[in-house]
Amino acid sequence: MHINEFLKQENREALASELTKEGLFELTPETIRGNQYNVFVSAPKNLHDYFQFGTIHGEWDFLAYEDESYSYQEVLRMAAGLAHVLVEIMG
């Protein structure tokens, strides 16, 4: 789809409808702090679950910006170090 076609609302809605059917991008309504949101059904429920993906794909790029990149394994190691400092040192 060319970008000009994507700018038309009916095309955006059609694409959103296809992406949110059963599967990776499926949405469901959920009330959070009294507000109604559409949330991903298959999204991790917390940061721990999110980072578990990295244990499977440790060598994949997790974060890249300009000429810097960090693998899942590197980010998990840094997050574990931060968690240790917060719990054991900072209390």
- Same domain for 53 and 32, yes or no, is no
Give yes or no: residues 33 and 52 share one domain. no
pLDDT per position as a tens digit, 9-25: 787 777 777 776 776 77
- What is the per-residue pLDDT for 71? 92
Are 18 and 52 members of one domain? Answer: no
Domain coverage including residue 19: 3-40
34/54 same-domain check: no
Q: What is the pLDDT of residues 37-64, one digit of tens each?
A: 988 888 888 888 877 877 787 888 888 9
Here the tokens at position 58 are: 């440790």
- Residues 77, 54 share a domain: yes
pTM assigned to the model: 0.48
35 plus 58 within the same structural domain: no
Instruction: Identify the three-state secondary structure at position 19.
Output: helix
Residues 26 and 58 in one domain: no
* CA–CA distance, 68 with 24 (Å, rounded to integer): 28
- Which pair of tokens denotes residue 16? 């959103």
